Amino acid sequence: MSTPTPTDLLGEIYAHWISELGLLGDAPVSTELLRLIFDDWHRATAEPEGVTYKNETIGGVPGILVTPIGSNPDEVLIFMHGGGFALGSSASHRKLAGHVAKAAGVTAFVLDFRRAPDFKFPAQIEDGIAVYRALLDAGHTPEQLTPIGDSAGGNLALSLVFQARAEGLPLPKQVITISPWLNMENNGATLDRNDATDFLITREGLQGNIDRYIAGATSPTNPMANPLYQDFAGFPRLYITAGDVESLFDDSVRLEALARDAGVDVTFSIGEGMQHVYPFLAGNHPRADEEIRRIAQWYRAGLTNS
């Protein structure tokens, strides 16, 4: 794992986290402390102008409702936050959701789904589908609801759709994933190849989160926990973005291949030289801002072509 340059804000934050954890020596790091550290994720993101936030509960699931001025309240991004299924929160991700929602002209709901290890698989997916079902019951059409997620949240955004399919619910028209973490077998091709260029991800850290999420609950090859084992035939149009120097890049490469082979309309946007979940740099880095624009344009084009 290399040292970030001074201009790489996201890399600085990731390195700071690792440094702080290193100061603890051999002492165990509690999940509560990890959650406090990871809520600092939002520091990479500039506050988007003209966006309001409100604590809300939808389908029994708490979270933050993100409303850009002039946005269409009928269209909702169902935002599943990253953090290894155990960390992250609506607080860490509200600004990122705000940038995406503002660019797309829609609202967003950032779920505070139940987190591991307090709640194992499939509690997180159950919370996602509860929100989706509640929004449908409130009168939103499937086309107006778009699951979106970063890292572990990308896994959950995909699994939400597969759960909807299993329950016979109408499917959304499109899904957005940002640096999705899908491989619960922890054997991705870029885990070692990109280890020197990824400032955050390590195989050991991933395994810790895998254990928190599914140990004693299910197998790492269960398609609902590991979407790389899913059948993507009939899946909604899909947007994937990831940095090519991150250790989880292989997950996105495999996801694109699976979706494309199944006939899915898939777009893969690669952030050259960018870190894990690089759109977190929205408002602070031109490539992150460009990616937010790309996501928004892709989103609007999908609705226009309905």
Q: What integer pLDDT is reported at residue 25 of this predicted model?
A: 47
Domain 9-304 has CATH 3.30.420.10: no
Residue 76 DSSP symbol: E
Catalytic residue among 75, 246, 256, 291: 246
Q: Is the pLDDT of residue 6 over 50?
A: no
Catalytic residue among 81, 99, 276, 285: 276
**246 is known as an active-site residue:** yes
Give the pLDDT confidence of 163-215 residue by residue, as tens digits.
Answer: 999 999 999 999 999 999 999 999 999 999 999 999 999 999 999 999 999 99
Q: What integer pLDDT is reported at residue 158 of this predicted model?
A: 99
What percent of the chain has pLDDT above 70?
A: 94
Residue 259: partners with Cβ closer than 8 Å, 6 or more residues away: 232, 235, 238, 266
Tokens of 272: 């050259």
DSSP 234-279: TPPEEEEEEETTSTTHHHHHHHHHHHHHTT--EEEEEETT--TTGG
Give the pLDDT confidence of 203-261 residue by residue, as tens digits.
Answer: 999 999 999 999 999 999 999 999 999 999 999 999 999 999 999 999 999 999 999 99
What is the distance between the alpha carbons of residues 89 and 83, in angstroms, rounded to a whole number? Answer: 8
pLDDT category of residue 23 using cuts at 50, 70 and 90 = very low
Closest CA to 302 of 98, 99, 104, 100: 104
Q: What is the mean pLDDT of the chain?
A: 94
**140 is known as an active-site residue:** no
CA distances from 104 to 12, 18, 77, 91, 249 (A): 29, 34, 10, 21, 25
Q: What integer pLDDT is reported at residue 24 of this predicted model?
A: 46
**256 is known as an active-site residue:** no
Catalytic residue among 89, 90, 92, 151: 151
Q: Is the pLDDT of residue 134 over 80?
A: yes
What is the distance between the alpha carbons of residues 196 and 167, in angstroms, rounded to a whole number? Answer: 43
Give the pLDDT confidence of 77-115 residue by residue, as tens digits.
Answer: 999 999 999 999 999 999 999 999 999 999 999 999 999
